Amino acid sequence: MARVEGIDPKKAPFFMRFVFKKVHKMLGKDLTPQKISARVPRVFWVNVLAEWLLGQKAKVPLRQRQIVTLRTAGRVGCPF
């Protein structure tokens, strides 16, 4: 089965590189789903906007949300 290759963050447009750098700084690695969604800029920016808006409305601190997200992904076997 053919797999979709994500774009290289170093070859992405300027504003996408900025987002990739922020995510890499927060999580310590580049996320494969983010690299794949960057192949279609509209999808990428809608995802970024949605994550940002959800983050603004959350009552739980950012650090705690990130830990819960990573632990959940680890338990369900997400390879990112």
11-33 residue pLDDT tens = 999 999 999 999 899 878 888 88
Break the chain into its structural domains and give their ranges: 9-76
The CA-atom distances, in angstroms, between 48 and each of 2, 57, 71, 77 are 26, 15, 21, 23
Cβ pair 66, 26 in contact under 8 A: yes
CA distance 33 to 16: 14
| pTM, to two decimals | 0.68
62-80 as b/e, with b when 16 or more CB fall inside 10 Å? Answer: eeeeeeeeeeeeeeeeeee
Q: Which amino acid is at 27?
A: L
| Per-residue model confidence as pLDDT tens digits over 38-50 | 999 999 999 888 8
Mean pLDDT on 5-16: 90
